[in-house]
Amino acid sequence: MGEENGDGKGDVIVLMKGIVKRFPGVVANDHIDLEIRRGEVLALLGENGAGKTTLMNILYGLYQPDEGEIYVEGKRVRFRSPRDAIAHGIGMVHQHFTLVEDMTVVENVILGLRKYGTFPDLKKAAEDITEVAKGVGFKINPWAYIWQLSAGEKQKVEILKALFRKVKVLILDEPTSVLTPQDTKELFATIRKLVARGLGVVFISHKLNEVMEIADRIVVLRRGKVVGRLMREQANPRLLAKLMVGREVFLEIHKPPREPGRVLLEVHGLKVMGDKGLLAVKGVSFRIREGEIVGVAAVAGNGQKELAEALYGLRKVEEGRIIYEGEDITKAPISERIRRGIALIPEERLVYGALPTFTVAENLILEEVDKEPFSVPVPVLTPALGMRALNREGIINYAKKVIAKYRIYPPYPEYPAGKLSGGNLQKVMVARELERGSKLIIAEEPTAGLDVAATEFVRETLVKARTEGSGVLLISSDLSEVLSLSDKVMVMYEGEIVGAFRPGELSIEEIGLMMAGAKRMPEEEVAKIWQ
Amino acid sequence: MAIMLKFEEREVGKAAAILIPLAALGLAFLVGAFMMLWAGVDPIAGYTAFVTGALGSPGGLTDTLLRMTPFLLMGVGIAFSNRAGVLNIGAEGQYIMGAIAATWVTLALQYVVPAPISVTTAVIMAIIVGAAWATFAGALKAFMGVNEIVTTVIMNWLALRILQWLLRGPLKSPTAQQWPMSPPLEAVYPPLIPGTRLHIGFLIAILAAIASYYLLFHTNTGFKLRVAGQNPAVATYAGYKVRTFFLLSMALSGGLAGLAGAGEVLGVFKFLYEGIAVGLGYTAIIVALVGKNHPIGVIFSAFMFGVIYNGMTYLQAATGLTYTFSKALEGMIYIFVLLAEVLILYRIRVIRVGGE
Amino acid sequence: MWDVIASVINLGIAMATPLALASVGEVYSERSGTINLGVEGIMLMGAIAAFHMTYVTGDLLLGYLAGLAIGVIFGMLFSFMSVTLRLNQVIAGMGIYFLGFGLSDFIYKTLYGKEYVTIQKPPQIPVPGLVNIPIIGQALFDQYPTVYLTYILIPVLWYLLYKSSIGISVRAVGENPKAADTMGVNVFLVKHLTIWFGSALAGLAGAALCLEITGLFFENLTFGLGFIAVGLVYFGKWDPMKAWAGALIYGMTWSISVTLQDPLQKMGHPEMVYFMLMLPYIVIIIALVIMSRGARPPKYLGVPYTRE
């Protein structure tokens, strides 16, 4: 792609030249050139793992480049730490917020600032913060603790932190991933305001429609390299998708029709406590039948995670009942739910999912180690203590079969799981949960952080399980994923089901309003869909 | 200009497992030589006494095996709990409580029942009391959320105070002269090799290590225990009762430490006195570390520390230094093992960043 | 009677002081995310350094400074292991303990042989005026130098932790080092400095124990006080004032036990002296159980920080 295609208009604030960053086994950034201009939104588009965040972490001083040069307003700079980057007017809002939950907004904003001296006058600081917030139309209580704030408000605090330091360039890493459609609209309006003030904004995303909406100029990365530079007028979603993935992408999912079967799961008035000691799920009722996918459309933090954990038994139920195949399992331990065929594909793969230092084979049999052929009875120990001897051969043979079926790479049963790529690790998780003949599959963000190929694979696998008769509860912050995979969708807001519909029945705007709590369907109408 | 360290794992293979402790040992002994010079004693004479004493004669060698016994038992126990994700730094207290229990039971039973029954009861009680001492801290953690590192270590000092009190009160020997001690124990461990001090406790320790190895690496219970230790959240998610494994590992670890305590009073001293508490339970933390938390590895590292302990008594006799010199050396071995781990297992690159 | 009570409190506060110093230092270290189990060893090193310095120079102030200095040196060793090399903090801390335990007594025996040598304890300094307040004056204001130091230092450290930009940075590093790093706080520097500071106070605590309480050095002088100091951090929920309160509870229990020793001995139960000495440990464990409800450690306590 020639320079003339992607040439911006404003003055160049930041120029990155020939940036190379290597991590063990991968080149995350391979000779990348980039300029950031005043008064312009630059979109960095690419798949997960394309190197967008790494590049911006280098600009923000968190990583040191192995090669390459950075210029700010024409002057060569070397950043040792974010302090240097901030001093040169660069601010960054990370995808996972970097806020201290146990501190107030004021303390978070003035953290690391020398302006207020050793004994900061917090009242004065709070006034200053409110002033800056007013300038961009934010309403924020400076004395609130971070843990009391919603995701949208936390993002505003992050943006305030940068603006408070008078940045010239603001980097936003996947900023919409935790927002409702309405919050996103508000964010875009803020971005427009900032650009009008002369800031340069870098918008990191893998969502084509958002990039098309907000960007002035687009740079596409693939596997650490720049594969496209264009102005928005030159772009269209098809072209961007092709650049991003390197081949034609069919975003359609083949989903054969399937008549739902008998009721698999019935939830009655379920109430579940969240981590803060407040109700996170406030009396939800729904049904999942065999052969259907029920999707949950909700912004992160509206009780969907707690719901999934309660169904699987990770979280105590305060009130209400869970009926599975006609039997009450509200108080059943996790092991019993596993035995009955309930599976959970957890969101945080390395927290709940996999053991990095254990082998792929061991990770695959985690829940079934007590069964043949993975372990066998031995004299004395088994009758007296219920212990069984591990059967290595049985474990390895099983792993070989699964690895072949799910195309897990590299195909070694004794490979440490921690060295797998994100996509392959997720395949291990999905395989473990589905291969034990699960009938109810709870999938939390099953494609988050995966590249396109792995995403397609996981989606196909879920649809196949549903077509073969399993019930699936799909929780995803990717609304288009929910709408395209699900047979029924329920919208959750603040722990309640505020709407339920079949995909295609409602417009995105209406769904967005419900996700934001601005609108709700009458209860009878919600109840009707489960009949 | 700032300097940052970057760690890159490198392949060193199995040799490192032997290389690291030996390198650390060598370095510590080198520093030890300088310390001896400063203290005005001849390091060559000291180390000569060390080597010939610990390894130079059959009697010395069996004494080394005798010395390694408590390390082996407690090292395996600590390896166990480490695998289950609990750092049991309370072995010292569990060991003291085991020794007290064994003494008490023996004093009550030795003239009442035949010796084998007395010894067996004493050993079982020592295991139970050691396990209970550890499980108490474990239960405080599991049910009340009290940090187990803090409680176990405070309970070590409590155990020492209990020992001091009992030796001056209920367990006091009426004939004790200078140091408070218990009456002599008659129903004790039989010798393993006649004519030496080596007792059957050594054999018990070896068997315990092998059984632990089997339990940890070849049974479903061991598998689950290791999963729970690596990541309790994953274990919960897989349907394991994490709390049970946590308490089980504490109990096993404490039981082995209690058994070690019984071994010292019934096999070595044949009475109870304050001198049994010289920090063997702390040393066992290093033993487990050097043995890579693997019961078979612990057999070798326990032998290494048996050599050090036995050799040190000869070194002390030859130089007039006290046991705290050995303790200082031990601290250095410990720190050098930690440093050598990093230096040998990782390639450390110093990267200079910034400038201008 | 009131005299006895006043003297029990006086002794309790004196005993609580080394514990409080070590504990408050550990609060800072843990607030920035590092648990230092080597406090016991550092206290022992502080004790021998202070003892030797005072013995040689005859100057108490130099003794205190020597304790402080050796604390910093051991703090550097520990922070090098735990922050720079990112070793397991509990394991590295135990290493520091072993080293301090063995080395301190080895040094003493090498320098002084096996005899106990005593030094002149610092005088208890009455505060003019305040000392005349009935009971309180005698209990609180006729004290050793480091006691007065804690009266001022601990409130100051409390204020610094909660109200100053330094405190905000320290707490942020323990709660979310990435957040602190992205806001330009030098996470590594904060961790190193808090560890050095905590270790310096531990060294000073050892000096205070040796110079003011015992007046001589012997093997294992601290008898677990360093570990109790770490326990008090949990008791005090990482708050300097509450940790100090915990130290006072311990000190009072100890002081009562010690005061009862004489009468017990006279009643013909010398072994009960040792029975009484068990009490402070039991009290601390019970206190820990009571206070642990809802205690939440700094989120990144025990987790070494790295950017990549």
DSSP per position, A376-441: EE-TTHHHHH--EEE-HHHHHHHHHHHHHHHT-SS--TTSBGGGS-HHHHHHHHHHHHHTTT-SEE
- Please report the ipTM that was assigned to this predicted complex: 0.89
Q: In terms of Cα–Cα distance, which of A169, A56, A161 is closest to A112?
A: A161
Find the mean pLDDT for residues A9-29: 87
Gap between the Cα atoms of A169 and A60, Å rounded: 10
- Domain membership of residue C212 as a residue range: 2-291
Q: In terms of Cα–Cα distance, which of C67, C93, C69, C94 is closest to C79?
A: C93
pLDDT at residue number B63: 93
pLDDT at residue number A2: 37
Is there a contact between C183 and A98 if contact means CB atoms under 8 Å apart? yes
CA distance A459 to chain B (A): 23
Beta-carbon-side half-sphere exposure of residue A378 (alpha carbons within 13 Å): 15
CA distance C306 to chain A (A): 10
- Structure tokens of A408? 């897990």
Gap between the Cα atoms of B7 and B1, Å rounded: 20
DSSP per position, C273-284: HHHHHHHHHHHH
Gap between the Cα atoms of A419 and C142, Å rounded: 64
Q: Over the stretch C176-195, which tens digit does the pLDDT of each residue have?
A: 999 999 998 999 999 999 99
Q: Over the stretch A201-253, which tens digit does the pLDDT of each residue have?
A: 999 988 888 899 999 999 999 989 999 999 999 988 888 888 887 766 655 67
The mean-pLDDT minimum among A20-24, C9-13, C207-211 falls in: A20-24
Find the mean pLDDT for residues A349-361: 85
CB < 8 Å to A349, chain B: none
**Under CATH, which architecture does the B42-320 domain have?**
Orthogonal Bundle (1.10)
Comparing CB atoms, the residue among B147, B285, B342 nearest residue C234 is B147
- Structure tokens of A231? 């102005």
Asked whether residue A126 carries a pLDDT value surpassing 60, the answer given is: yes
* E strands in A255-372: 263-273, 279-289, 293-297, 317-324, 327-328, 342-345
CB < 8 Å to A110, chain C: 165, 168
Which residue is closest to A102 within chain C, CA to CA?
C175
Residue C296 lies in a domain: no
B 16-45 residues with CB < 8 A to C: 35, 38-40
Beta-carbon-side half-sphere exposure of residue A105 (alpha carbons within 13 Å): 26
Determine the residue type at B210.
I
Find the mean pLDDT for residues B294-315: 94
Percentage of the residues of chain B whose pLDDT score is greater than 90:
70
pLDDT at residue number A1: 36
Which residue is closest to C284 within chain B, CA to CA?
B154
pLDDT at residue number B16: 74
Residues 6+ apart with CB under 8 A from A414: A359, A360, A361, A396
Q: Over the stretch A151-172, which tens digit does the pLDDT of each residue have?
A: 889 999 999 999 999 999 999 9
Best interface-test mutation with B: which of A57, A80, A348 has the largest number of B CBs within 10 A?
A80
- Structure tokens of C183? 């806001």
Asked whether residue B345 carries a pLDDT value surpassing 80, the answer given is: no
Asked whether residue A7 carries a pLDDT value surpassing 80, the answer given is: no
Gap between the Cα atoms of B62 and B310, Å rounded: 10
Q: Over the stretch C112-127, which tens digit does the pLDDT of each residue have?
A: 988 889 998 888 899 9
Gap between the Cα atoms of B35 and C103, Å rounded: 10
Task: Judge contact between B6 and B349, C-beta under 8 A.
Answer: yes
How far from the centroid of its chain's Cα atoms is residue B184's Cα?
Answer: 25
Q: Over the stretch C214-244, which tens digit does the pLDDT of each residue have?
A: 999 998 899 899 999 999 999 999 999 999 9
Beta-carbon-side half-sphere exposure of residue C111 (alpha carbons within 13 Å): 17
Which residue is closest to A117 within chain C, CA to CA?
C165
User: Where in chain B are the domains?
Assistant: 42-320
Element at B2 (helix H, strand E): strand B2-9
Residues 6+ apart with CB under 8 A from A245: A47, A222, A452
Work out the pLDDT band at B354, boundaries 50, 70, 90. Answer: very low
Work out the pLDDT band at A507, boundaries 50, 70, 90. Answer: confident
Q: Over the stretch A282-339, which tens digit does the pLDDT of each residue have?
A: 999 999 999 999 999 988 888 999 999 999 999 999 999 999 999 999 999 999 999 9
pTM recorded for the entire structure:
0.89
Instruction: Please provide residue A144's backbone torsions phi and psi, each rounded to the nearest 5 degrees.
Output: -70, 145
Q: In terms of Cα–Cα distance, which of C7, C24, C29 is closest to C75?
A: C29
| C-alpha angle A228-A233-A234 in degrees, rounded to nearest 5 | 40
State the Cα torsion A146-A150-A155-A156 to the nearest 10°.
-80
Asked whether residue A5 carries a pLDDT value surpassing 60, the answer given is: no
- Structure tokens of C117? 């040598």
Q: Over the stretch B176-200, which tens digit does the pLDDT of each residue have?
A: 777 889 999 999 999 998 888 899 9
Q: What is the mean pLDDT of chain B?
A: 90
Buried b (16+ CB within 10 A) or exposed e, A382-393: beeeebbbbbee
Which residue is closest to A64 within chain B, CA to CA?
B353
Q: What is the mean pLDDT of chain C?
A: 92
Q: Which residues of A touch C (CB under 8 A)?
A: 23, 60, 62-63, 81-83, 86-87, 92, 94, 97-103, 107-108, 110-114, 116-120, 161
Find the mean pLDDT for residues A394-421: 92
Is there a contact between A92 and C163 if contact means CB atoms under 8 Å apart? no
Pairing of strands A200-205, A375-377: unpaired
- Structure tokens of A276? 């803060």
CATH of domain A12-245: 3.40.50.300
Element at A53 (helix H, strand E): helix A52-59
Domains: count for chain C: 1
**Alpha carbon distances (Å) from A253 to A48, A249, A256, A439:** 20, 11, 9, 22
Is there a contact between A111 and C163 if contact means CB atoms under 8 Å apart? no
Could you tell me the CATH number of the domain that includes residue C91? 1.10.3470
Is there a contact between A370 and B231 if contact means CB atoms under 8 Å apart? no
pLDDT at residue number B1: 35
Comparing CB atoms, the residue among B217, B222, B354 nearest residue A80 is B354
Q: Which residues pair with A46 in a beta bridge?
A: A221
Percentage of the residues of chain A whose pLDDT score is greater than 90:
64
For residue A148, what is the DSSP state? G
Pairing of strands A67-72, A12-23: antiparallel
Backbone CA torsion sign across C258, C260, C262, C268: negative
Determine the residue type at A364.
L
CB < 8 Å to A71, chain B: none
Residues 6+ apart with CB under 8 A from B169: C271, C272, C274, C275
| C-alpha angle A490-A492-A498 in degrees, rounded to nearest 5 | 75
Instruction: Please provide residue A120's backbone torsions phi and psi, each rounded to the nearest 5 degrees.
Output: -65, 140
Gap between the Cα atoms of A372 and A394, Å rounded: 8
Q: Which fold has domain A263-349+419-528?
A: Rossmann fold (3.40.50)
Gap between the Cα atoms of A54 and A94, Å rounded: 11
Q: Which residues pair with A16 in a beta bridge?
A: A34, A70
Delimit the CATH 3.40.50.300 region(s) of chain A: 12-245, 263-349+419-528
Q: In terms of Cα–Cα distance, which of B352, B351, B349, B332 is closest to B7?
A: B349
Asked whether residue A12 carries a pLDDT value surpassing 80, the answer given is: yes
Q: Over the stretch A419-444, which tens digit does the pLDDT of each residue have?
A: 888 888 989 999 999 998 899 999 99
Residue C232 lies in a domain: yes
The mean-pLDDT minimum among A419-428, C10-19, C59-68, C156-165 falls in: A419-428
Residue C186 lies in a domain: yes
**Alpha carbon distances (Å) from A117 to A103, A160, B114, C28, C283:** 19, 20, 79, 20, 42
Comparing CB atoms, the residue among C92, C97, C281 nearest residue B338 is C92
Task: Judge contact between C100 and C74, C-beta under 8 A.
Answer: yes
- Structure tokens of A240? 């961007």
pLDDT at residue number A385: 87
Is there a contact between A387 and B234 if contact means CB atoms under 8 Å apart? no
CB < 8 Å to A107, chain C: 168, 172
Rounded to 10 deg, the angle between the C187-208 and C39-57 helix axes is: 50
pLDDT at residue number C66: 98
Q: Over the stretch C252-289, which tens digit does the pLDDT of each residue have?
A: 999 998 888 888 888 877 788 888 889 889 999 999 99
